[in-house]
Structure 1
């Protein structure tokens, strides 16, 4: 068998433009102290977050379904949407009691 000849046509400067754009984005990130970060949703599409009553922890429930016994919806306006957001952090140290009142979690729970 003969040697295969593969030719790739590259437009001059195209790779340099892309490399330059990537370097510029990295420089801006470094200078401003910002990092490129993807935010992860607490629940996927078609689900909403719930929290464990009298305990730490959370779960996701399909839209249109009620939480199971021992679980509750987050109070209106205090629902975590993204991992690490204000309410996500808050609910890592708080929960709801059996009457729906917000209470602090005992340390270590």
Structure 2
């Protein structure tokens, strides 16, 4: 006759396996969580980002060089640094006109 309140041997070992599986899962989550924090720079070292005039296109230009025709520097304080940062997202729906005024970006379609 089995005593109530006492787990069987199989249940005790299953609990140990479950605990080991949960510990492994926690380790995977911890390691993956670190890699999700990676932020990709808009440009490489030695470059700066520029915005296409009248559009949402962008490019990277070597430090010391002027932006190519049709591109301009971002306004000071509004330069995207990493992909999906505040200014990268902002400039997806805004642009600069030929006079340097911030305007809504043209609709794409």
Tell whether the structures are fold-level matches, with TM greater than 0.5: yes
Deviating 4+ runs (over 6 angstroms): none
Stretches of structure 1 lacking an aligned partner (at least 5 in a row): 1-19
Structure 1 segment 71-86 matched on structure 2, within 5 A:
71-86=71-86
2:29 aligned to which of 14, 26, 31: 26
Question: The residue matched to 1:41 in structure 2 has which SS?
Answer: coil
User: Where is the helix percentage greater, Structure 1 or Structure 2?
Assistant: 2
Residues 103 and 45 of structure 1: is their aligned pair in 2 closer, same or farther, counting only changes over 3 Å?
same
In 2, the alpha carbon distance for the partners of 1:26 and 1:90 equals 31
**TM score, norm. by length of structure 2:** 0.69
The Cα shift of 1:22 comes to 8.3
How far residue 70 of structure 1 moved from its aligned partner, in angstroms, is 0.9
Shift of 1:28: 9.1
1:8-47 correspondence runs (5 A): 23-24=26-27, 26=29, 36-47=36-47
RMSD: 2.7
Number of residues paired by the alignment? Answer: 87
**TM-score in terms of structure 1 length:** 0.69
How far, CA to CA, are the matches of 2:82 and 2:30 in structure 1? 27
Computing the radius of gyration from Cα coordinates, the structure with the larger value is: 2
